[in-house]
Structure 1
Amino acid sequence: MPAAAALLGAVLAAAAPARAQPAAAAEWPDRPVRWVLPYAAGGPTDLIARILADRLSQRLPHRVVVENRSGAGGSIGAGLVARAAPDGSTFLFTNNGHVVLRPLYPSIDFDPEGDFAAVSIIAESPMVLLVPPNAPWRTVAEFVAAARAAPGRLTYGSTGGGGVLQLVSLLFIRSAGIELQEVAYRGSGPAVQDLAAGRLDMLYDAGLTGFGLARGGQARALAVSAPRRSPVMPDVPTIVEAGYPDATFAVFQVVLAPARTPGAVVERMSREIAAVLREPAIRERLEELGAERVVGSTPAEAAEVMARETPRWARILAEAGVRQQR
């Protein structure tokens, strides 16, 4: 009996690690699921995450809970997920900012590519190039001409640290071949106030918010960063029409899992997200937040996007001379 008991104990011990992971997607989730969002609450990415999490909580046997872990350009929340157990209980819900973590934060103790498995691209939203309502520039061409006439004199608003405001601005500056002075803000709210008051010369903002500012007389919209005009304000030209096709940009949300999360679980989460995104009521809510392309991609498609965007932005940041963060 002692030998048999020892053998049984060895078998159970060997089986314990396997029990920490769902054996198949059919058994997942076997506990609440946590979506770590590496940014503060209240932004478009946070709102989209909460809409999807609420609906998924109704579909799955356990709730999906959004947990905000902001700081250091998103690296704090991303690091938490990178180090989490790959058992299907923790995911990262983030945006474009993830692809610039390595070039901007070289001292982080995780690999933004190798430590994650792509699950799904959620949606894409354009940005709007704004200038003060009383500015003398009514077209992108006029703004670019003014910037070229006085290199480094005109300003643009940014939240720095590889945030989307900085990324889309750098893309336009690089494409137009101009030099602007960056003014860093803790959030887009103070930047909007300075733009409306004429203390800031240029600001990119999310599509829905940007169009709202233009309609309310707080800003003038010169272009939308998408290759097609927005149905929200079809009179605003695209950045392509303005002559800068290399400056097209869309904010995208993406769900990532810790590397080595079982493939069946990754696929199941991706399918559940896609099913929710096909619901008309959910699509309508996302479109109200400015999403112009609701995606719900497969893991393979999401991985392809991340693999393409990561080296692209590393190159853009290097060419722009953006300083590394400590």
Structure 2
Amino acid sequence: MKYTPSPSLVSSLCLVAGSLLWASPGHAQTASYPDKPVKLVVGFAAGGPTDVVARAFADYASRTLGQPFIIDNKPGANTIIAAQAVASAPADGYTLLFGATNHTMIPALYSKVKFDAVHSFAPICTVATSPTVLVVGPGMPVKTLSEFMDRARKSPGSVSAGTAGVGSSGHFATEMFARSAGLKLNHVPYKGAAPVVTDLMGGQLDSSFATLGSVLQQIRTGKVNALAVASARRSPLLPQVPTFVEAGGGSYSADAWYGLLAPAGTPAPVAKALERVATEFARSEAAAEKLRGLGLDADTTCGSAFSAQVEREVATYTKLARDLDLKAE
């Protein structure tokens, strides 16, 4: 006689099987995440904006999740060294990248890297943004963005715009605005942001599309003049400075982000745990105060929205670099 188990027995067996699956080593590992220290890789030296934000997040995550989040600075090669270290790490949530906007510029500038800036990573969340701000020094006698554009149009190539180097975020921001506004600016690359600010204040340089944090103090003390902020809304740190849209600069926007990425294939429960703590960090008053001191705004874009943003930026910067024939290698 053929044996047919009763519905109640089938139901009981299913429950047992489900319990065994839930208790499997892989699931138990993600359910208890993290159960050991987490390494947070930063592609910049200690003390810079990305490192400072990463350390603030690491401190918050350590206290919230009950395990140390340890900063591992791997500067060099425009953050390629750090990104490579994370892309090749196990996708278990214990080696993470704390990156910034320049991560999406890597494909535009380098063809010989061993990872894909989009597909080798699982973007978790941004935790902060820094708007780009157009500043001019005392050698540039303009008060508004319209005056700046008029001057640049009347003498194409005569208005200098300093950046931290060829292929830097400031360089891309400069070229994006010049193209959108139909201007020809004289790009002057420096070796870092500090000498740009020095020459701006000294009158040797006309302008710079700079991250707000790098020029906030000089703006507040009147040593440089901010003409417009390249974000969707005015910065609460500079409420008197209009956005590019308000100042007649079209729809130009160039926010820089700081955020958390994991290796591709990181388990969804681990990604969700990290997303939750990143969101809580950005919403905390302590984080907001810390970020304001750096000229940054607490801001979160997570999961699929962050992934889409990364893909969009990679496509934009790659096209721009191709049009300008930019290569860093």
The TM tier, using the shorter chain, reads: 0.7 to 0.9
What pairs up with 1:1-326 in 2 under 5 angstroms? 23-160=28-165, 162-292=167-297, 294-319=298-323, 321-326=324-329
* Shift, 1:161, TM fit: 5.1
* Shift, 1:113, TM fit: 1.0
Classify 1:322/1:45 alpha carbon distance in 2 versus 1 (closer, same or farther; 3 Å). farther
Classify 1:48/1:315 alpha carbon distance in 2 versus 1 (closer, same or farther; 3 Å). same
Contact residue 270 and residue 297 of structure 1 kept, 8 A: no
Deviates most, 67-76 or 296-305: 296-305
Classify 1:271/1:24 alpha carbon distance in 2 versus 1 (closer, same or farther; 3 Å). farther
* Shift, 1:93, TM fit: 0.8
Percentage of pairs with the same residue: 35
Structure 2 letter corresponding to 1:287: R
Aligned partners of 2:235, 2:93: CA distance in 1, in Å? Answer: 37
Contact residue 124 and residue 261 of structure 2 kept, 8 A: yes
Aligned partners of 1:225, 1:61: CA distance in 2, in Å? Answer: 38
Deviates most, 242-251 or 184-193: 242-251
Moved over 6 A (4+): none
Classify 1:37/1:177 alpha carbon distance in 2 versus 1 (closer, same or farther; 3 Å). same
* Shift, 1:123, TM fit: 1.8
Task: Tell me the alpha carbon deviations over residues 238-296 of structure 1, each in whole angstroms, 9 at most, x when there is no partner.
Answer: 2112222332111111211111222221111111221222222222222332223x233
Contact residue 163 and residue 170 of structure 2 kept, 8 A: yes
Classify 1:255/1:162 alpha carbon distance in 2 versus 1 (closer, same or farther; 3 Å). farther
Classify 1:295/1:120 alpha carbon distance in 2 versus 1 (closer, same or farther; 3 Å). same
* Shift, 1:162, TM fit: 3.6
Aligned partners of 1:76, 1:56: CA distance in 2, in Å? Answer: 24
Structure 2 letter corresponding to 1:249: A
Structure 1 stretches of 5 or more lacking a match? 1-17
Aligned partners of 2:212, 2:151: CA distance in 1, in Å? Answer: 25
Structure 2 letter corresponding to 1:40: A
Deviates most, 304-313 or 259-268: 304-313
Structure 1 letter corresponding to 2:300: G
Contact residue 101 and residue 162 of structure 1 kept, 8 A: no
Aligned partners of 1:287, 1:117: CA distance in 2, in Å? Answer: 27
Residue 81 of structure 1: SS of its match in structure 2?
A: helix
Contact residue 181 and residue 250 of structure 2 kept, 8 A: no
Deviates most, 193-202 or 130-139: 130-139
Aligned partners of 1:200, 1:105: CA distance in 2, in Å? Answer: 29
Aligned partners of 2:219, 2:282: CA distance in 1, in Å? Answer: 29
Residue 245 of structure 2: SS of its match in structure 1?
A: coil
Q: TM-score, normalised by structure 2?
A: 0.86
Q: Which residue of 1 aligns with 2:6?
A: none
Structure 2 letter corresponding to 1:286: L
Q: TM-score, normalised by structure 1?
A: 0.87
Contact residue 166 and residue 189 of structure 2 kept, 8 A: no
Aligned partners of 1:34, 1:221: CA distance in 2, in Å? Answer: 38
Q: Which residue of 2 aligns with 1:10?
A: none
Structure 1 letter corresponding to 2:240: D
Structure 1 letter corresponding to 2:88: R
Contact residue 133 and residue 217 of structure 1 kept, 8 A: no
Contact residue 270 and residue 296 of structure 1 kept, 8 A: no
Aligned partners of 1:277, 1:100: CA distance in 2, in Å? Answer: 24
Residue 122 of structure 2: SS of its match in structure 1?
A: strand
